[in-house]
Amino acid sequence: MADKETQILLVEDEPSLLAGLLLNLQLEGYRVTAAPNGALAVNHLKNGKFDLVILDLMLPDMNGMDILAQMRDRGDYTPVLILSARDEIETKVQGLSTGADDYLTKPFDVKELYARVQAILRRHNGAVNNVSFGDIKVFLDERRVEKNGREVHLTPLEYDLLVYFIKNPSIAFSREALLRNIWPTGTDATVRTVDNFIVTLRKKVDDHRKPRHFITVRGHGYRFNI
């Protein structure tokens, strides 16, 4: 069961789904505030404190993506789980790039929702300090990487790119999206720079001859599989 002090803002306009999610999350032990429209959600966010926001995108009065952007613009880094019927890769990438912590498409299994909520809360409560895949272990607090127990030396940008992929598994990112989210504003890096970094990461933390984790998505960019 959840910590009874965990506060969730549930932003969803479809009445039956709102009622069902509200009941199920409360049964799991969460304290839930419901907002059936964007204006009410914005008001709650300005006047309350939450541990997580579950956010629909297609609201009757405003776009949920705008609510997310406003939160991040004013320095509100409350974790956000987008819950939307929009399943286009471009929309998922936009949501994650705008600052969402996860993206779940409708329809969904409520058990998966619980799992994603718990994972986000663990990350933001500091319970997850390292991540493992294959023979690689990433120590997030220390910005350190090991392969088979031996330290792997990554540049700061290589490390940032690796962690970005780890936090957004299975999402196909374009090279342009990776440039926007990893490289500093005003950089002279190009899409070819992204390719070179992927080649380096494959050599350091993957099998560059037959990659298992850094997968090329032809005509688009790259996807990371844990």
Q: Is the pTM of this model over 0.75?
A: no
What burial class does residue 85 get, using C-beta atoms within 10 Å of its C-beta: 0-12 exposed, 13-18 middle, 19+ buried? exposed
For the segment 80-105, the average pLDDT, to the nearest whole number, is 90
Residue 171 has pLDDT above 90, yes or no: no
Q: Is 65 left (phi over 0), alpha (psi -120 to 50) or beta?
A: alpha
Residue with the bigger pLDDT between 77 and 4: it is 77
With contact defined as beta carbons under 8 Å apart, do 207 and 147 qualify?
Answer: no
Instruction: Output b/e per residue, 33-52; b: 16+ Cβ within 10 A.
Output: bbbbbbebbbebbeeeebbb
Model confidence at 159, pLDDT cuts 50, 70, 90, reads very high
Torsion sign (Cα): 175, 220, 160, 83: positive
Helix, strand, coil percent content, the chain, rounded in steps of 5: 40, 20, 35
CA-to-CA separations, 166 to 162, 170, 214, 216, 223, in angstroms, rounded: 6, 9, 10, 16, 10
For the segment 185-209, the average pLDDT, to the nearest whole number, is 92
In this prediction, residue 202 carries a pLDDT of 96
In this prediction, residue 129 carries a pLDDT of 67
Residue 122 has pLDDT above 90, yes or no: no
With contact defined as beta carbons under 8 Å apart, do 182 and 160 qualify?
Answer: yes
Model confidence at 4, pLDDT cuts 50, 70, 90, reads low
- pLDDT one-digit tens code per residue, 22-37: 999 999 999 999 999 9
Residue with the bigger pLDDT between 204 and 225: it is 204
In this prediction, residue 3 carries a pLDDT of 57
- pLDDT one-digit tens code per residue, 99-112: 898 999 988 889 88
Please report where in the chains the tokens 């350091």 appear, as a residue: 204
Domains by residue range for the chain, with CATH: 7-124 (3.40.50.2300), 130-224 (1.10.10.10)
